[in-house]
Amino acid sequence: MDLVLFDLDNTLISGDSDFEWAQFLINKGVLDRELYEARNLEFYEQYKAGTLDIDVFLDFQLQPLARYPRHLLDAWHQEFMARHILPIVSHKARALVREHLDSGALCAVVTATNSFVTSSTVREFGIAHLIATIPAQENGQFTGRPRGIPSFREGKILRVEAWLEAMGLWWSSFERSWFYSDSQNDLPLLSRVSNPVAVDPDPTLRTHAEAAGWPVISLLA
């Protein structure tokens, strides 16, 4: 059996769901445009440059979840999925996931974006396992803080290994392991698997992938 891991943003979907979720809330008037829009873009540019402070970003990204009741957040998220996410899911991405699922591989999405934003997208692909940053809750209400280790950079390896151990598995349990990603931030996990694949990679990842002889593919429509 193979282990197949997928990044989500700019890999399985042709955009960044963290960025899009904040923009969605700004456009609805939930978040103040003057206060949030420039900061949202700044964090996105830091992520692409590989300089993002994940703790500072999560404070920005998770605090709005704590201000509203869950039923309202869920309703907004359904609208967000329909307007922002489903239009950027390509047939190529669906076909790649289906190929691995049909082969009997154990598949998971491993993303730094929080599980509230990403869980519906992962279900859309038919993938049963999501390893994401976890927004903490108390009595069903988000607290505005993360719980545990963020699924980011080296944290992705720690979270994947904890997930595997919980099932009595380890890297050596699999004939091959795959990770598909677009981002230089994922070089730690890409370097951990036996079959790293760069997907529409950023310039830093493309340079690394070409030097290392990793496959470079595109999932754009």
Taking only the tens place, the pLDDT of each residue in 58-117 is 998 999 999 999 999 999 999 999 999 999 999 999 999 999 999 999 999 999 999 999
16, β-bridge pairs: none
pLDDT of residue 65: 93
Is 16 an active-site residue? no
End-to-end CA distance of the chain: give it in Å, rounded: 29
Indicate which residue of 7, 16, 182, 202 is catalytic: 7
Does position 46 have pLDDT exceeding 80, yes or no? yes
Side chain identity at residue 34, one-letter code:
E
Does position 140 have pLDDT exceeding 90, yes or no? no
Does position 10 have pLDDT exceeding 80, yes or no? yes
Does position 34 have pLDDT exceeding 90, yes or no? no
- If you average pLDDT over every residue of the chain, what do you get? 96
Report the 3 state secondary structure along 35-53.
Answer: HHHHHHHHHHHHHHHCCCC
Q: Give the chain's radius of gyration (CA, Å).
A: 17
Indicate which residue of 2, 9, 102, 202 is catalytic: 9
pLDDT of residue 212: 97
Domain boundaries, the chain: 2-217
Does position 35 have pLDDT exceeding 90, yes or no? no
pTM of this prediction exceeds 0.85: yes
Is 18 an active-site residue? no
Is residue 120 packed enough to be buried (19+ CB in 10 Å), middle (13-18) or exposed (0-12)? middle
Domain 2-217: which CATH number of 3.20.20.210, 3.40.50.2300, 3.40.50.1000, 3.40.605.10: 3.40.50.1000
Among 80, 24, 12, which residue's Cα sits nearest to residue 221?
12
Going by pLDDT thresholds of 50, 70 and 90, the confidence category of residue 45 is very high
**What distance in Å separates the CA atoms of residue 37 and residue 1, rounded to the nearest whole number?**
44
pLDDT of residue 177: 98
pLDDT of residue 209: 98
**What distance in Å separates the CA atoms of residue 156 and residue 151, rounded to the nearest whole number?**
5
pLDDT of residue 149: 96
Does position 221 have pLDDT exceeding 80, yes or no? no
